[in-house]
Amino acid sequence: MLIEAEGIAVAIGGRPVLDGEFVHCEPGTMTALVGPSGSGKTTLLHCLGLLLPVDRGRVLIDGKDVTTCGSAARRRFWRDHAAFVLQDYGIMDDESVAFNVTMRSSPLGRRATGDGRRLAQVLEQTGLAGRQDEAASHLSGGEKQRLALARAIYKRAAVVFVDEPTASLDAANRMKVIDLFTEFAANGRTVIVSTHDFEMIEACGVRHEIGSGRISNPTRAQPGHQR
Ligand X SMILES: Nc1ncnc2c1ncn2[C@@H]1O[C@H](COP(=O)(O)OP(=O)(O)O)[C@@H](O)[C@H]1O
CB neighbours (10 Å) of residue 76? 13
Sheet architecture: strand order including 219-220: 82-85, 159-163, 190-194, 30-34, 206-209, 219-220
Our finding on whether 29 is near ligand X (CB under 6 A) is no
| Cα gap 138→143, rounded to integer Å | 9
Our finding on whether 12 is near ligand X (CB under 6 A) is yes
Indicate the residue among 35 and 218 with the shorter CB distance to ligand X: 35
Contacting Mg ion within 207-226 (CB under 5 A): none
Least gap, CB of 53 to ligand X (angstroms): 13
Site string for Mg ion, 14-43 (x = CB under 5 A): ---------------------------xx-
From 40-48, 56-64, 114-122, 200-208, span contacting ligand X (CB under 6 A): 40-48
Our finding on whether 37 is near ligand X (CB under 6 A) is yes
Q: Which does 226 bind (CB under 5 to 8 A by kind): Mg ion, ligand X, none?
A: none
Partners of 192 in the β-ladder: 31, 161
CB neighbours (10 Å) of residue 125? 19
Partners of 163 in the β-ladder: 194
Rg (CA), the chain: 18
Contacting Mg ion within 89-118 (CB under 5 A): none
Helices 171-186 and 141-155 meet at what angle, rounded to 10?
Answer: 20
Our finding on whether 40 is near ligand X (CB under 6 A) is yes
Q: Which residues bind Mg ion (CB under 5 A)?
A: 41-42
Q: Which residues bind ligand X (CB under 6 A)?
A: 12-13, 17, 35, 37-43, 194
